[in-house]
Structure 1
Amino acid sequence: MKLSFGTQIKDQPNYFLEKIWKGLLNGPGDLEESYFNYLGRYIAKFGKSWDGDKFTEFFEPKIHTIRRDPDNQWVPGMDIQLVVNLNTIEEFQFAPTLKCQSVQRIHIDYSRLVNPFGPAVFIDYQLLDKPALAKMVRNDGFPTVADFLMYFNEDFTGNLVHWTPLRYE
């Protein structure tokens, strides 16, 4: 199944492609040749590069993504095709097809019933403490918890789709 990624949030670059590739290159297997293949195809299609030269130095890797999934379509073992510009003539798969390793339920609660000082974030119905939340946010490609909460700025329920073995327990 296709996972579509934007390249901006609120008119600012999010560097998700670079962050995903950093995670892939840091993971098991030798993907360096594959990286240059996809980057070359990207340049040929769009006439520009993603900021690949910057990501090794400045970015934390993005190793999962959060999606609304009311029908629970994401399941472990299914193929993941990482794309930009989904369902357009500009659609482009920017990385090799991956396997979904696991899926965890995520809920963001703004009611202040659990946390009177701000939203509460749960994974698999377990409340994340501040260090675990900060780790999850970085692993999802956001630089800070504040940036994450500006994006997810209301109650949210969905799935955390993993393409690495990492899970939040």
Structure 2
Amino acid sequence: MPDVISGKPNHFVEKIWKSFGGVFMNQHFTMEVTQGLENACYQWNYKAGDLKPKKHTMRMDASDRWKAGKKIHMVINNRQPNRFQFVPTVPCIATQKVELKDWEYAMIDGKRLSTVELSRLAINDGFPDVFSFMHWFQGNWKGKLIHWTDLKY
């Protein structure tokens, strides 16, 4: 899956795996996972040590589907024949309302984030910087942060 700005791989899987820590990786990163990623045509970065972890995801949620306790199935190639779930099912720990405004700022649960907090949000969502983050979401967006870690803003 290429990055929207650079066209280079975004290492989505590796960043999510990093959010769970080394013990989790040692227990769950097996030959089956390696084979599944290969079958899904995912190019794994074995030198992922310098990547920042993806600690949450953002989704539109008009039907209010996402709540604490809901099961998260982390997959690549969703709704395709080579769909692959690369992490065991985990619970949603929490959600927060998020709104991006005018390519400039973000609000979480009604609180405007500082520039530093916005940068942290972008990086924790798997983006290299705020520009790439805002470009992906087209500058104006409303939805939910879905957390599988204890992180909150």
The TM-score normalised by the length of structure 1 is 0.81
Q: Find the counterpart in structure 2 of residue 72 from structure 1.
A: 64
Pair 1:86–1:134, CA change in 2 (3 A)? same
- Give structure 1 regions of 4+ aligned residues with deviation exceeding 3 angstroms: 46-49
> Which letter does structure 2 place at the counterpart of 1:107?
E
Conservation of the 8 A alpha-carbon contact between 2:90 and 2:148:
yes
Conservation of the 8 A alpha-carbon contact between 1:38 and 1:95:
no
Conservation of the 8 A alpha-carbon contact between 1:64 and 1:162:
yes
Pair 1:43–1:119, CA change in 2 (3 A)? closer
Pair 1:148–1:41, CA change in 2 (3 A)? same
Q: Find the counterpart in structure 2 of residue 103 from structure 1.
A: 95
Which of 33, 51, 63 does residue 55 from structure 2 map onto?
Answer: 63
Where do residues 1-169 of structure 1 align in structure 2 (5 Å cutoff)? 7-10=1-4, 11-26=7-22, 29-43=23-37, 45-46=39-40, 49-51=43-45, 53-56=46-49, 58-110=50-102, 119-168=104-153
Conservation of the 8 A alpha-carbon contact between 1:39 and 1:49:
no
The TM-score normalised by the length of structure 2 is 0.89
> Which letter does structure 2 place at the counterpart of 1:19?
K
Q: Which runs of 5+ in 2 are unaligned?
A: none
Conservation of the 8 A alpha-carbon contact between 2:57 and 2:146:
yes
SS at match of 1:105: strand
Report the Cα distance in structure 2 between the residues aligned to 1:128 and 1:43, rounded to whole angstroms.
36
Structure 1 residue 24: deviation in Å? 1.3
Report the Cα distance in structure 1 between the residues aligned to 2:152 and 2:96, rounded to whole angstroms.
8
Alignment: residue pair count:
151
Q: Which runs of 5+ in 1 are unaligned?
A: 1-6, 111-117
Conservation of the 8 A alpha-carbon contact between 1:20 and 1:63:
yes
More moved, 64-73 vs 37-46: 37-46
> Which letter does structure 2 place at the counterpart of 1:34?
H
Q: Find the counterpart in structure 2 of residue 113 from structure 1.
A: none
Larger Rg, first or second structure (1 or 2): 1
Report the Cα distance in structure 2 between the residues aligned to 1:119 and 1:47, rounded to whole angstroms.
36
Pair 1:38–1:24, CA change in 2 (3 A)? farther
1:68-92 deviation digits (Å, cap 9, x = unpaired): 1111100000110100111111111
Report the Cα distance in structure 2 between the residues aligned to 1:98 and 1:92, rounded to whole angstroms.
15
